[in-house]
Amino acid sequence: QKEVEQNSGPLSVPEGAIASLNCTYSDRGSQSFFWYRQYSGKSPELIMFIYSNGDKEDGRFTAQLNKASQYVSLLIRDSQPSDSATYLCAVGGGSQGNLIFGKGTKLSVKP
Amino acid sequence: EAGVTQFPSHSVIEKGQTVTLRCDPISGHDNLYWYRRVMGKEIKFLLHFVKESKQDESGMPNNRFLAERTGGTYSTLKVQPAELEDSGVYFCASSHTSGGAGEQFFGPGTRLTVL
């Protein structure tokens, strides 16, 4: 059974700090990796995707992928209270189009 | 550009009744997915359409669930008869990319409560 693991949190960081969110996955053949942000009662919102080993930066967000270690992370620089949400790690299910989600990490950014 | 829309936003039904959920994907997106999140669990895949064809329905829990996408536009997901364990939030997502899991955009979800 393909699995994606995340710490449920809550992860609490002060405003302006770097928030680091981590995710591991079980299927070594996975090719695509996604981070979604979900505010309470809202739909998951795609914020980052990464397909290759290494780092990918977009504004205050950096996604990091290490396929050898089966590890994906999301760094949020200069965290803001508006970043407080649940962050979902999702992995592409091989040749199929479905996503396999972790349970999410709840992030709280304190002013 | 309009996002993925879902209807209804909430549905409360009794065990044994039938409910039909609707999803309208982003215009031009051939790929349409249904997912479900039950309380305390992760979001789980139900099925995937490419246009009007079912590409993968391996996540459908049982034959009480029927999904259709006639004409390759909007999709419906019918639960008949509903059971207590069907309660949860049903999400629809769509993507343009073909082959593998491309960037999927989610709708607001339908919260289904079965009493």
pLDDT under 70: residue ranges of chain A: 93-96
**What are the beta bridge partners of residue A57?**
A62
> CA nearest A98 in B: which residue?
B101
End-to-end CA distance of chain B: 37
Q: Which of B31, B97, B106, B110 to mutate to test the interface with A (most CBs of A within 10 A)?
A: B106
Mean pLDDT taken over chain B:
93
CB B62 within 8 A of CB B79: no
Q: Closest Cα to residue B89, out of B44, B12, B36, B31?
A: B36
Partner-chain contact A98 B31, CB within 8 Å: no
- What span, in angstroms and rounded, lies between the C-alpha atoms of B59 and A109? 35
- Write the CB contacts of A48 (distance below 8 Å, at least 6 apart in sequence): A34, A35, A56, A58, A61, A63, A74
Give the least confident one: A42-51, B70-79, B100-109. Answer: B100-109
pLDDT, residue A97, reads 78
Is residue B66 predicted with pLDDT exceeding 90?
yes
- What span, in angstroms and rounded, lies between the C-alpha atoms of A36 and B115? 31
Is residue B108 predicted with pLDDT exceeding 90?
yes
